[in-house]
């Protein structure tokens, strides 16, 4: 198979590496010479490191690197069987690119978008043959993260999703199928991990380090503020805004002033040296509270919100139960699938917590999922 990747940023380069390691010929396209050169240099430095770590042989590294070509010309994608777009999260820009690439590729070439939260259906509408468009959402860094969300557009032809799912699985990834709704699975279900943590902080209940420690204490590899700093506060805020607007301003997905201020201050996290934490040399590491009851209350409040969101996604047929559980464990490294976790703790306790939060705040943000209520009736 010959694969085209549009966009040579971190995500596009990562997807190109994944496809090449799976044996595909890859054309990495970017209109900017500087971006292509940066990608080429980064990939050239990556393969020797993989050899050094014993991840591949020197011969394989040479073969994989030789399978990736770089081009500023869109026409270089003409012989591709699959083209994956991985550019800026801007709907109009993506639609323009899809309309252009459709004029270059063959009639049976599959066109895919790596969007994390935009409508695949809207992107497909820019094509003369929208039935060949599908979402293939990798997670960053693509070579390391196993999960890939497969999202059919409303127009996607019958059978294409299974074809794409099998192809992605053959690349060594874990594909899950999601409906074309804002945030798909992961960026929808994970919103309370960040949002409720921000709410707790803004209410003055606890600082960043205490909230992060509370979530690590129940098995999460990173706390919400650590993770936002790693992702980039600009990226996290943009996804939050996109999901919020796409859901007609549903209060469950509302962004927070603290997020906005971080972006305005250009405190974007690790990549800028400052975010919720200071990453400069010699900066003092804040110490979390020693109040174990406080941390227990924090972790349960956030976890209950996550379990509620996962059940709501299942109730609305966003994905199957198995795919919802896979998505959260393989996409964002949650210690357990949220539906199973809720059953382990007790769904009745989850319902009682949601009702208590709603009673306290009287906000739709805390409405209990109908599925959770039905399962405990």
- Quick count: other Cβ atoms within 10 Å of Cβ 270? 15
Residue 252: which domain range?
187-375
Both tokens of residue 364?
A: 């739709």
Read off the pTM.
0.94
At 117 the pLDDT is: 85
Overall domain count for the chain:
2
Residues 173 and 233 in one domain: no
Residues 136 and 212 in one domain: no
59 vs 95: CA distance, rounded Å: 40
* Separation of first and last alpha carbons in the chain: 52
Q: Is the dihedral of CA 210, 213, 217, 219 positive or negative?
A: positive
Q: Which residues contact 79 (CB under 8 A, 6 or more apart)?
A: 2, 106
104 within some domain: yes
At 140 the pLDDT is: 87
Domain boundary (159, 177, 195) is at: 177
- Quick count: other Cβ atoms within 10 Å of Cβ 88? 10
Residues 154 and 282 in one domain: no
The domain that holds 135 is classified in CATH as 3.40.50.720
Domain boundary (177, 203, 237) is at: 177
214 within some domain: yes
The domain that holds 208 is classified in CATH as 1.10.1040.50
pLDDT tens over the chain, length 377 residues? 999 999 999 999 999 999 999 999 999 999 999 999 999 999 999 999 999 999 999 999 999 999 999 999 999 999 999 999 999 999 999 999 999 999 999 999 999 999 998 999 999 999 999 999 999 999 989 999 999 999 999 999 999 999 999 999 999 999 999 999 999 999 999 999 999 999 999 999 999 999 999 999 999 999 999 999 999 999 999 989 989 999 999 999 999 999 999 999 999 999 999 999 999 999 999 999 999 999 999 999 999 999 999 999 999 999 999 999 999 999 999 999 999 999 999 999 999 999 999 999 999 999 999 999 999 99
Residues 252 and 158 in one domain: no
Residues 141 and 200 in one domain: no
Residues 267 and 218 in one domain: yes
Residues 110 and 240 in one domain: no
182 within some domain: no
Residues 109 and 89 in one domain: yes
75 within some domain: yes
84 within some domain: yes
320 within some domain: yes
Residues 213 and 351 in one domain: yes
7 within some domain: yes
Cβ atoms of residues 212 and 167 within 8 Å = no
Helix (H) and strand (E) counts in the chain: 17, 8
Q: Which residues contact 75 (CB under 8 A, 6 or more apart)?
A: 104
Cβ atoms of residues 313 and 188 within 8 Å = yes
Catalytic site positions: 116, 137, 149, 187
368 within some domain: yes
Domain boundary (111, 145, 177) is at: 177
Residues 97 and 118 in one domain: yes
* Burial of 314 (C-beta count, 10 Å sphere; 0-12/13-18/19+): buried
* Burial of 241 (C-beta count, 10 Å sphere; 0-12/13-18/19+): middle
Residues 199 and 140 in one domain: no
Residues 79 and 140 in one domain: yes
DSSP secondary structure letters along 231-279: H-HHHHHHHHHHHHHHTTT-GGG---HHHHHHHHTT--BGGGTBSSSB-
- Quick count: other Cβ atoms within 10 Å of Cβ 53? 8
């Amino acid at each position: 198979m010959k694969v085209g990747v549009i966009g040579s940023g971190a995500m596009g380069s990562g997807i190109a590496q994944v496809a090449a390691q799976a044996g595909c010929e890859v054309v990495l396209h970017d209109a900017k010479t500087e971006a292509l050169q940066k990608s080429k240099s980064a990939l050239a430095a990556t393969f020797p490191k993989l050899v050094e770590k014993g991840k591949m042989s020197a011969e394989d590294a040479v073969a994989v690197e030789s399978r990736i070509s770089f081009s500023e010309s869109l026409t270089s994608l003409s012989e591709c069987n699959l083209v994956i777009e991985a550019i800026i999260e801007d709907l109009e820009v993506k639609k323009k690119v899809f309309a252009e690439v459709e004029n270059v590729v063959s009639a049976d070439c599959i066109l895919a978008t790596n969007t994390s939260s935009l409508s695949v259906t809207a992107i497909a509408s820019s094509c003369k043959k929208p039935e060949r468009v599908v979402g293939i959402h990798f997670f960053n860094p693509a070579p390391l993260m196993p999960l890939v969300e497969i999202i059919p557009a409303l127009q996607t032809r019958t059978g294409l999703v299974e074809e794409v799912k099998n192809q992605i699985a053959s690349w060594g990834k874990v594909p899950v199928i999601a409906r074309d709704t804002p945030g798909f699975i992961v960026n929808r279900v994970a919103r309370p991990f960040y949002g409720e943590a921000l709410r707790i902080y803004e209410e003055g209940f606890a600082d960043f380090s205490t909230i992060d420690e509370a979530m690590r204490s129940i098995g999460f590899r990173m706390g919400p503020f650590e993770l936002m700093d790693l992702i980039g506060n600009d990226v996290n805020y943009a996804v939050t805004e996109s999901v919020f607007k796409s859901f007609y301003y549903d209060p469950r997905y509302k962004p927070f002033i603290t997020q906005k201020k971080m972006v305005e201050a250009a405190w974007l996290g690790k990549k800028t040296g400052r975010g919720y934490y200071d990453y400069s040399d010699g900066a003092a590491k804040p110490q979390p509270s020693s109040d174990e009851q406080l941390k227990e209350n924090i972790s349960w409040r956030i976890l209950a919100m996550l379990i509620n969101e996962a059940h709501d996604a299942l109730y609305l047929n966003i994905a199957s139960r198995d795919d919802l559980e896979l998505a959260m464990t393989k996409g964002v490294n949650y210690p357990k699938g949220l539906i199973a976790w809720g059953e382990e703790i007790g769904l009745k306790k989850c319902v009682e917590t949601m009702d208590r939060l709603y009673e306290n705040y009287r906000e739709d943000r805390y409405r209990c999922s109908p599925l959770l209520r039905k399962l405990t009736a």
